[in-house]
Amino acid sequence: MTGDIPNLSPVAAATALLRAGVPPGEVLKLMEPREGLLNAGQVANAEVVSLKQLGQDFQLLLKLTMDNGRQTTLPVSSSLPLTPGTTVNVAQGSADTLTISLQDLQKAIANSLTSIDTRQLPAGTLLQGKVLTTQVIAQNVAQLASQPSAPPTYRSIVLLLNTALAGSSLTVDSPQPLRVGTLLSAQVQNSQALNFVALPNRMDELALAQQLSTQQSRQGSLQSLFTALQNLPAPSGNTPDTLTPSLRASIDQLFADLPDLQQMSTAKGVAQALNASGLFMESRLLAGENPTLMPDLKANLLRVISQILPGVPGNVTYNDAAAANTLARAMPGFIRNALGTLGLVAAPNIPTNFPLPSRTLGSPQSQDDLETLLKLAAGAISRLQSHQLAGLEQTRTNADGTQVTTWQLEIPMRNAHDVVPLQVKLQREDAPEREESPETATQEVKEKEKLWRVELAFDLEPLGPLQVQAQLVAGSLSSQMWAQREAAAELISAELDGLRARLVACGLNVKELACNRGVPTQGSRTVLEQRWIDENA
């Protein structure tokens, strides 16, 4: 599929609009009438913040700046797709309309690129973009009316997501309509032509990278939530419980389902903890299973949230059962909306290198601050989802056909009265199948083609922050450990011989086994083909 970039000058574009019946002063209709927003003759500067297509019309979000510096945002509808970042001067025609002059309209139309500078983006450059609008062009509408058999031409505005032009919009003509919201990949042919490339896997990666970038800005450390829950005042004879019985029961169930260090010291216990980490909750729902019938960290957190919401101001009539059902089906969108109403501002994006860094969303103003508990619980959900998305992002097929599958998760462990989150990343590499002669097609050869990598990160007193990297292939194990405290590094190093003996007793061939002071070096990330999308787009 080929897309031609229309080479329209501002004057030609304005003329085309006039021929299509667009008035010389474009009228924007306010979604909510505002009497006296601007005085007669007063002009305000307006910047287009967002653009959304609704049928053949467009909904814009404008940020108005008055002469006195006061700013306000207004949703308006328009017959023209004014791209985000466009600035115009507007006047108020009536309580429910704003008007734009023809001169400003010409500038607004010219704001979208109508050609590509091949010095910046030479032929062959791969572009990624998101379709903002799609319409049959006005001239083509008249042609179709007189010649029904004539093929239509569609004009779309595409927001570029990578390269030096990330954030810019591009006006593209194509013989087929581009669905609004679609993520596209296209190759530059020349300054006036693009060749759309059908790359479903890459579009999945693009959507995943965008979601992961947004998700991480909402996540908060599990430690913050569990500390806040542990500090809740316990009910006593003289002091009534500030929490509802259902919320108290949900919190108790959350703590009861956490594994302890003794459980994590056995293979069966580790398997149960991995299964209950929340990593597989969505897959169980898709399979028709009920995650509430078995221990599941994410399901327990959702249950806590559903019990907190009724006590938050504005939710006094909220039904507990309906909340739990809605949350299970609508996460994470529902929690995002809840956080938005509570005033939680997204922080800058956090890199996805393992392990995820500690991040606190805030401390409770009081020990029974339900709004803060809601933020912390929603941040914990987002953290679990950040791990899940990071695992999906690192699952790929290499150029040589090797399939890399990654699972990333976080398990809170009970250590006496403390809760210690354990971050885990498991990675399996499966070599592509090759034809083998009967003499070499043995089980041993097949085992050599499967490589396992394990990474752990946790902060356990009195050892402090620790990280472990291990590699297992065909029964041979190599491992490196890092301790940030010097005393911990010396203690672990002194115990390595005993650890080696226990591993050998389990039937493993132990090669390298060492403990270092500090943290592992973080090299440049090479997954997803050297980051083919700008994460900040």
pLDDT for the residue numbered 481? 95
Local structure of residue 152 (DSSP, 8 states): P
What is the spatial distance between Cα 99 and Cα 104, in angstroms, rounded to a whole number? 10
Please report, as a single letter, which amino acid is at residue 501.
A
- Cis amide bond preceding 355, omega within 30: yes
Q: Is there a contact between 327 and 292 (Cβ–Cβ < 8 Å)?
A: no
How far is it, in rounded angstroms, from Cα 400 to Cα 398?
5
Whose structure tokens read 């791969």? 126
Query: What local confidence, expressed as pLDDT, does residue 143 receive?
Result: 56
pTM summary value: 0.57
Three-class SS state of 12: helix
Q: Which of 373, 368, 289 is nearest to 338 (CA)?
A: 373
183 and 128 Cβ atoms separated by less than 8 Å? yes
From the list 123, 239, 242, the residue with the least C-alpha distance to 191 is 123
Instruction: Provide the 10 A C-beta neighbour count for residue 339.
Output: 20
Closest to 372 in 3D by CA, of 312, 461, 449, 440: 312
Identify whether the C-beta of residue 500 lies closer than 8 Å to the C-beta of residue 510.
Answer: yes
Contact 79, 60 (CB under 8 A): no
Pair 184, 196: CB distance under 8 Å: yes
Q: What angle do CA 21, 24, 28 make, to 5 degrees?
A: 90
CA distance 128 to 159: 9
Question: What are the pLDDT digits (tens) for 451-466?
Answer: 999 999 999 888 999 9
Rounded Cα distance, 290 and 293, in Å: 6
10: its two tokens: 């501002």
Crossing angle of helices 486-494 and 496-505, in 10° steps, is 50
Strands (E) located in 347-449 = 396-397, 403-415, 418-430
Would you list the domain boundaries of the chain? 209-391, 393-530
* Residues of the chain where predicted confidence (pLDDT) is lower than 70: 1-3, 5-26, 102-110, 138-150, 198-216, 236-240, 291-292, 311-352, 362-368, 399, 433-449, 522-537
Q: Note the residue count of the chain.
A: 537
CATH number of 393-530: 3.30.750
d(CA 115, CA 309): 51
Q: pLDDT per residue over 209-266, tens digit each?
A: 666 666 667 788 898 899 989 888 877 666 667 788 888 899 999 999 999 989 998 9
> Which residues on neighbouring strands pair with residue 91, listed in sequence order?
99
Which helix (H) or strand (E) covers residue 2, if one does? strand 2-4
My answer on whether omega of the bond before 462 falls inside 30° of 0, hence cis, is yes
CA–CA gap between residue 524 and residue 502 (Å, rounded): 35
pLDDT given for residue 472 in this prediction: 92
Q: What is the pLDDT of residue 500?
A: 93
Q: At which residue do the structure tokens 């580790």 appear?
A: 270
